[in-house]
Amino acid sequence: MALAPKEFTQHYPKPGWVEHDPEAIWSIQSGVALEAGTSMHVEPIAKGWLDIQLQNKYTNFHGNKFISNSYQKKYYMRPVSVFKKNYHVELHDVDFTRKLKLSTLFNYLQEISSLHVENLGIGIEAIEKRCGATWILMRAKAEIERHPSWNEDITIETWHQKPKKFEFERDFIVRDAAGNVIIRMVSMWIIIDIKTRKLKKSESIAVQHPQFFEERAMTNFRLGKIKPFAHTKIAYKKTISYSDTDINGHINNAKYIDFATDCFPIEKHLQYYIKSMQINYIREAMPGDNIAIYTDISDLNSNIVYIGGIEESGAPIFNTIVEIVPVKDRPELLQIGSSAQKPNWGWA
């Protein structure tokens, strides 16, 4: 047995009300658990991982309600081949159909990628300090069996393949609460010099990795170039602004997904759902740049839509191929207002 005590702060916002900060509890609990477990050579900690289930309860005497919130986190002590994270689809993550927005999915995938490379010792801050580099997503393809719904719990798993000369391929799987795979995705990343914006070799950030997980999220896929279609039509024009940018100072990769899906009116989003999408990022777009978003629906009979973005000079910024499916063919995938998707807050 081992002890590792530590105090934590309690908050009293008003008389009769006490609150605990779940993040503070997590930080302290994980720290003392690791300290105590390491001293005893506990097996889970020796393997490099630790699960902690925290429950923060507080009573609101004024409202005569008892509210219980549970927080669960997985803390990885050592590099892992496959990184997993649970997500709860919140209200701000969905669109008017109460389904997860595709751009939000890309934000999820961007976050878990960042967490995994940090776990591997090649996170954003680490490679910036080591060689003045940063991560850039170049291509991605998603195959969607079902779009997650509001208030749904999902789990995302990610892993990367053995690095090539310049490219890093990373795969993702999204599972529902029952463990069913509902989304598969493959992606290709590079690292560039922050100052010169030039490509750097993968060996620039070489570290000792755990064993690579060689299985792929998709089979028989090709993540290659997308040739522009011939019958394009401008959907709208946009000036890149502050809210479009990310940590690298250019358009965040998830914003391009919004640019693409904004090409079509609301009624089209009611008539179709996105079954698959491949997006290729070709050139950086910076604040102040004016870009035109255009589409080609000449292959709509095959359920294929082409979407691209170009600068004022005519240079391409991104292009994407989207496979859509009429909702009438699978009506169960778009059930707006279903009571099964509504959280139970204790009132009618």
Task: Read off the pLDDT of residues 161-197 as tens digits, 9 standing for 90 and up.
Answer: 999 999 999 999 999 999 999 999 999 999 999 999 9
Do 179 and 93 share a structural domain? yes
342 in any annotated domain:
no
Do 296 and 200 share a structural domain? no
Residue 141's domain comprises 79-224
Do 220 and 282 share a structural domain? no
Residues contacting residue 278 through CB under 8 Å, at least 6 positions apart: 139, 140, 141, 142, 223, 226, 320, 321
Do 231 and 294 share a structural domain? yes
Residue 311 and residue 262 in contact, taking contact as beta carbons nearer than 8 Å: no
More confident residue, 209 or 87: 87
pLDDT class for 342, splitting at 50, 70, 90? very low
E-assigned strand segments in the chain: 11-14, 17-19, 49-60, 65-76, 83-88, 133-144, 153-160, 168-175, 181-193, 199-200, 233-239, 272-281, 290-296, 304-311, 316-326
Instruction: Work out how many domains the chain is built from and give that number.
Output: 3
Do 53 and 5 share a structural domain? yes
- What is the pLDDT at residue 95? 93
Do 249 and 217 share a structural domain? no
337 in any annotated domain:
no
Calculate Rg over the CA atoms of the chain.
23
Residue 323 and residue 302 in contact, taking contact as beta carbons nearer than 8 Å: no
> Alpha helices, DSSP H only, in 182-337?
253-261, 266-271
Do 219 and 303 share a structural domain? no
Of 204, 224, 244, the position where a domain reaches its end is: 224
CA dist 100 and 149 (Å) reads 6
Q: Please give the average per-residue pLDDT across 4-24, as a whole number.
A: 67
Do 220 and 314 share a structural domain? no
Q: Which domain CATH number covers 325?
A: 3.10.129.10
- What is the pLDDT at residue 27? 57
Do 205 and 89 share a structural domain? yes
- What is the pLDDT at residue 210? 78
pLDDT above 70: percentage of residues in the chain = 74
- What is the pLDDT at residue 116? 93
- What is the pLDDT at residue 55? 42
Q: Please give the average per-residue pLDDT across 232-246, as a whole number.
A: 91
Q: Which range, of 1-10, 52-61, 258-267, averages the lowest pLDDT?
A: 52-61
- Quick check: 28 pLDDT over 80? no
Q: Please give the average per-residue pLDDT across 109-117, as a whole number.
A: 94
E-assigned strand segments in 209-338: 233-239, 272-281, 290-296, 304-311, 316-326
Q: Please give the average per-residue pLDDT across 123-136, as a whole number.
A: 92
- Quick check: 50 pLDDT over 80? no
Of 14, 43, 78, the position where a domain reaches its end is: 78
pLDDT class for 209, splitting at 50, 70, 90? confident
Do 198 and 136 share a structural domain? yes
- From the list 188, 258, 227, the residue with the least C-alpha distance to 321 is 227
336 in any annotated domain:
no
Of 224, 247, 264, the position where a domain reaches its end is: 224
pLDDT above 90: percentage of residues in the chain = 50
The pTM score is 0.74
275-332 pLDDT, tens per residue? 999 999 999 888 999 999 999 998 888 999 999 999 988 899 999 999 998 887 766 6
Do 70 and 205 share a structural domain? no
344 in any annotated domain:
no
- Quick check: 38 pLDDT over 80? no
- Quick check: 154 pLDDT over 90? yes
